[in-house]
Amino acid sequence: MNTFGRNFTFTSFGESHGEAVGGVIDGVPARFKIDFESIRHDLERRAGKHTILPHSARADHEIDEIEWLSGIQDGMTLGTPIAFLIRNSNQRPQDYEHLKEVFREGHADWVYEQKYGIRDYRGGGRASARETVARVVAGNIAKQILQQKGVTIEAELVQIGEQTNPALFADYLQEMQQQGDSIGGIIQCRVRGLEVGTGEPIFDKLQARLAYAILSINACKGFDYGSGFEGVAKKGSEINGFSGGIIGGISDGTDIIFRCVFKPTPTTPLSLQKLGITAPIRSDVCVAVRAVPIVEAMTALVLVDYQLFR
Amino acid sequence: MNTFGRNFTFTSFGESHGEAVGGVIDGVPARFKIDFESIRHDLERRAGKHTILPHSARADHEIDEIEWLSGIQDGMTLGTPIAFLIRNSNQRPQDYEHLKEVFREGHADWVYEQKYGIRDYRGGGRASARETVARVVAGNIAKQILQQKGVTIEAELVQIGEQTNPALFADYLQEMQQQGDSIGGIIQCRVRGLEVGTGEPIFDKLQARLAYAILSINACKGFDYGSGFEGVAKKGSEINGFSGGIIGGISDGTDIIFRCVFKPTPTTPLSLQKLGITAPIRSDVCVAVRAVPIVEAMTALVLVDYQLFR
Amino acid sequence: MNTFGRNFTFTSFGESHGEAVGGVIDGVPARFKIDFESIRHDLERRAGKHTILPHSARADHEIDEIEWLSGIQDGMTLGTPIAFLIRNSNQRPQDYEHLKEVFREGHADWVYEQKYGIRDYRGGGRASARETVARVVAGNIAKQILQQKGVTIEAELVQIGEQTNPALFADYLQEMQQQGDSIGGIIQCRVRGLEVGTGEPIFDKLQARLAYAILSINACKGFDYGSGFEGVAKKGSEINGFSGGIIGGISDGTDIIFRCVFKPTPTTPLSLQKLGITAPIRSDVCVAVRAVPIVEAMTALVLVDYQLFR
Amino acid sequence: MNTFGRNFTFTSFGESHGEAVGGVIDGVPARFKIDFESIRHDLERRAGKHTILPHSARADHEIDEIEWLSGIQDGMTLGTPIAFLIRNSNQRPQDYEHLKEVFREGHADWVYEQKYGIRDYRGGGRASARETVARVVAGNIAKQILQQKGVTIEAELVQIGEQTNPALFADYLQEMQQQGDSIGGIIQCRVRGLEVGTGEPIFDKLQARLAYAILSINACKGFDYGSGFEGVAKKGSEINGFSGGIIGGISDGTDIIFRCVFKPTPTTPLSLQKLGITAPIRSDVCVAVRAVPIVEAMTALVLVDYQLFR
């Protein structure tokens, strides 16, 4: 289904090349002052602005205006559901005509057609990364609520391909784009200021909800926290309590630290060329770059869902 | 909360040293014949039997009888909730008296006390791995239902410490136990026979639900699927479609393949010795070994939750 | 919260005098052809058209256009969430200025202010009956899906005040309006064509879900089915099996028949006059009249929520 | 499904003539002292003790011992799920052998067989009123939690057949039982001490959740609150604000008052006689009498589900 959360819920709607994408946020307290500039800033980060992406790889044109439909009056929340939409003004279905007969490898088109008996080949329809624009809006509001309680969330790229030196990321991406190729990346996210006690034992452990949220992001292939996958080689006697901020499913008062990995998009100029398609395609040289604010958004949605009702 | 799933739900109860652990399984179809031998076999695997664990590290004595309270008549399901319990016959609170004043590093006792204002120091209370015995029972029933539909789930250890050669795992563990230490491990799980179409776009992607389920297992620190974390270094042009069986959140008809990592338990004879405690302690040299059937169980609970209602 | 249903969900948003009201419908099958004319007809019934209401008591001007935002392409559903909105073009906040200082007796303004610390005095804000316009849209789509399966839902007024003869309803209402007063009414709803088996034992009994849905409609004060409240005087030996179409919480293959009662609105010209307010007020002489399609809508949402996944 | 509530959940299990009935209560705060005597008292009321029922119509023998399986230690809650069971020591399947070939009119056996392809003819299986014993246990714990917050719930019979004078109820029932017949009844429930603000606008209105809970009780055919069905004849100018304690779906600080009606059981000595069956049958002369503590229990489960998280 298209709703995330239990107490603070976010319902997402919209196809990439339909009328609009948007969402309904339910559970926002009344009388909270919304910082619209902060929302816009995260939308810009998602479009590639303020990032290391080569200018030609950015999607600045995608930053349309948000129409607020309900739940806010004079910039203050009413305690009622906040509905918003962002029109797909930038609909360019003609860009995708050449794909009508070709299922893009590694894309969701084929499974969608199998499952629903329908294929919306234009930009992946609902499966498109366009949908994440609504997540960023909702997640930013969640971040604002958390910030008021002293909780901050910051994600950043820590690896691109085999490169782990951030100073070299920009050049690396430039080169990759010149090759018409794409590359994977790892994002690390840190939550500061969370008090002891967020999370539930057994099934709703904090790490379980975070993993669920993060792996719902397109192209994400893995999640770990604390000692993570690298900790496999550690002995019990060496562990020294690097908890990643969570013990027994519950925040322990130290920073939450987790990582997630994003695969390279398989639809690149290079790959299309192999299929004999030369038409231009909008594609990300490294989806992880633009995923950074999405990771923050999903993290915020998880935390606020627990937080509000403690 | 203590319920997993939406359509096929499993509610777990019980503290490690209370009266009993058990669960209620809701959503099982009527007239399904239960294979009790299969359940027992998985409980034995969870206790260490049929594994590479040194004999002294097994917990065979924990395999108590299951009392079936409802939902089954003459070995057939009624379509009503299946409740069961396993008594904690093996209650040995005296083993833990020496811990009454010592919070075990890396264990949930401390956060539990902070959150609930109460500490059940005897064996971790609800946070104990004892709780997973109920998961194995429920998960095995889910596996049986899936098997009838041609879907099988098999998990196996693929790494212990830095060792990736299964032929050497047993010796490695023997050595680790002699040192009074513990070590991490990686489990790989493969689902065969799943048709195209299991999973939901957006938030309830198959990989997201799987990650949620797997990271709810004690000591699990990470989850990845398909190309996973190692895929970070791959280029889009090299990917060749290793999907891990899931595209766009939906099964694509190939085998589902995911991995998960388990940290070493921090409470070892060696670590207690450092704290000046010499009393004997039940502890796992490598929790990943006994986690194998639990990984299968949680995977089955995820799949059957989607499957039953397609 | 503002979401109804589990499998076929409807999320409602919008304040009566904000930008728009609308909703998101999730769980609609793909490739279903929407009958937009049918939706419009129910919106007209909700506005008073095609009813016994005196012309001056109708709200025909409220029938604004629906903007479809997602989930539909060329009149066919995509299987993705259907989002829609109806703008509050008819915002007349000045009509309500005189109420700014007066809490209307029997209205939700006061409890809202207590609960949320905020009062949106303009037309009741979120509590306004305006919100039900979105229910009618979603419910009509649910009715269409049910109709394709041979299930029809028809509600009708069976009592106004003490009057039970439908032939006399129109005159009665005319008179009541001339007095500047309002009156209660009883609606009966009949579901035809539902096969045996809809409903769940124990908590999700069909009658329980129906009662929940119907009592969520503003001004509804009661629900009964089958022999209902009048059956209290019946003996077991006299009952003759008037089940109301439900036995043990599950449809039994006969028509579902239930009743619900609507109180008169307390905000009438007469009551405001007593408070010394003479300004014109939009008010319903008998809210039950316009509630008929809302009762059908909520019934459809309940049934389709069960139906789709049987 | 068999779970009630969202924050404070109660999962029920057990068939009337299986091994046991019981439940799991999740969401109970830690360190709450349980009053076991109060639970026992409500179980006795449910069995007919302390009521106007003729002695021969009581089911005192049904008051078996509760086995507490988890969540409680030394009489105090742990904050973990509370599981309990009550064995069906009083299994007398032979009493029901004569029904094996006869579907009891108005009972759930027939629809169950249609839906599940299986019939557990012994005492109605899961549909039996036996299941409500678990509701009374869980509901009593909810009542205790509410009582600590100053909220009390009291239900009472206000009508039996056409009789509305409580002084005459006992004689009326005596007579009815001598005739081998059964009769309907109306229960009124009053909640005192609830502060302003319990309930949610739109779908989770307090009256909607109450109606859902009450109509999930076997044999209940209707629910109304405040002016209820009788209010249909009232004019807006006469209403004088009898809210029943709820406005706009939210408690208004006055007593909550609602009513519910129970039909007579159709399986009476008289009705079986008509079918040519003369074997003895356990049957209720007026199910409303024993439903009183069940109505209180379900009310408490609704309120505590809202209350705990305000």
C134 HSE (CA, 13 A, CB side): 33
State which amino acid sits at residue C231: G
Tens digit of pLDDT at every position of chain B (310 positions): 899 999 999 999 999 889 999 999 999 999 999 999 999 999 999 999 999 998 888 877 667 799 999 999 999 999 999 999 999 876 555 555 555 555 555 667 778 777 777 665 444 577 778 899 999 999 999 999 999 999 999 999 999 999 999 999 999 999 999 999 999 999 999 999 999 999 998 999 999 999 999 999 999 999 999 999 999 999 988 876 678 999 999 999 999 999 999 999 887 888 878 878 776 666 789 999 999 999 999 999 999 999 765 4
Look up tokens 């009074």; give the residue. B180
Which range is least confidently modeled, A231-240, A244-253, D301-310?
D301-310
Name the residue in chain C with its Cα closest to that of B309: C309
Helices (H), C117-198: 132-148, 169-178
The Cα–Cα gap between A197 and B115 comes to 5
Q: What are phi and psi of B44, to 5 degrees?
A: -65, -40
Least Cα distance to C28 among C293, C297, C298, C305 occurs for C305
β-strand pairing of D76-77 with D82-87: unpaired
pLDDT greater at residue A118 or residue B257: B257
Question: In this model, does residue D252 exceed pLDDT 50?
Answer: yes
- D interface test, pick of B1, B17, B21, B309 with most D CB neighbours within 10 Å: B1
Which residues share a beta bridge with D73?
Answer: D76
Which of A232, A234, A243, A309 to mutate to probe the B interface, most B CBs <10 Å? Answer: A232
What per-residue confidence (pLDDT) applies to A259?
98
| D201/A80 touch (CB, cutoff 8 Å), yes or no | yes
What pLDDT is attached to residue C16? 86
- C275: Cβ–Cβ under 8 A, 6 or more apart, which residues? C102
pLDDT, position D229: 97
CB count within 10 Å of CB C37 equals: 7
* Per-residue pLDDT tens digits for A4-24: 999 999 999 999 889 999 999
Within chain C, which residues score under 70 in pLDDT? 61-62, 90-107, 118-124, 240-241, 279-282, 308-310
Task: Answer whether CATH 3.40.50.150 is correct for domain C3-307.
Answer: no
Task: Tell me which residue of C256, C43, C6, C33 sits closest to C152, measured CA to CA.
Answer: C256
Chain B: residue whose CA lies nearest to C310: B309
Query: How many residue pairs from chains B and C have C-beta atoms closer than 8 A?
Result: 6
Give D146-168 pLDDT, tens digit per residue.
Answer: 999 999 999 999 999 999 999 99
pLDDT given for residue C56 in this prediction: 82
More confident residue, A307 or C179: C179
Q: What is the DSSP letter of B67?
A: E
pLDDT category at D96 given cuts 50, 70, 90 is low
Whether C95 and chain D come into contact, CB under 8 Å, resolves to no
> Are residues B239 and A106, on separate chains, in Cβ contact within 8 Å?
yes
Looking at the predicted structure, is the pLDDT value of residue A149 above 90?
yes
Query: Between these two residues, D310 and D96, which has the higher pLDDT value?
Result: D96
d(CA C153, CA C303): 10
**Tell me: the pLDDT tens digits for A189-248?**
999 999 999 999 899 999 999 999 999 999 999 999 999 999 999 998 887 668 899 999
CB pairs under 8 A between B and D: 133
pLDDT value at D278 more than 80:
no
| pLDDT score recorded for residue D122 | 47
Higher pLDDT, A240 or D238: D238
Cα–Cα distance for residue pair A121/A109, rounded to 1 Å = 7
Q: D63-66: long-range contacts at Cβ-Cβ below 8 A with a sequence spacing of 24 or more?
A: D64/D88, D64/D89, D64/D90, D66/D36, D66/D39, D66/D137
For chain B, domain boundaries: 3-307
pLDDT of residue C198: 94
The nearest alpha carbon in chain D to C283 belongs to D236
Q: Would you state the pLDDT for residue D92?
A: 54
B299 and A CB contact within 8 Å: no
- Residues in chain C with CB shorter than 8 Å from the CB of A3 are 3, 9, 11, 26
Q: Does D70 touch chain A (CB under 8 A)?
A: no
User: Six-digit token pair at B209?
Assistant: 């639900």
Using alpha carbons, select from D107, D128, D122, D131 the residue that is nearest to residue D20: D131
- Best-predicted range by mean pLDDT (A134-138, D239-243, D261-265): A134-138
Beta strands in C47-184 (DSSP E): 66-70, 72-73, 76-77, 82-87, 152-160
Q: How confident is the model at residue D240 (pLDDT cuts 50, 70, 90)?
A: low
C-alpha dihedral sign at D219, D225, D230, D232: negative
| Structural contact between residues B20 and D82, judged by C-beta atoms closer than 8 angstroms | no
Contact C74, C297 (CB under 8 A): no
HSE-CB for B196 with a 13 A CA cutoff? 13
Nearest 5°: the CA angle C132, C137, C141 is 140
D269 contacts in chain C (CB < 8 Å): none
Q: What is the pTM of this model?
A: 0.94
Q: According to the model, what pLDDT value does residue B310 have?
A: 41
Inter-chain CB proximity A79 and C116 less than 8 Å = yes
Cβ–Cβ gap D78/B1 under 8 Å: no
A neighbour chains, 3+ CB pairs within 8 Å: B, C, D
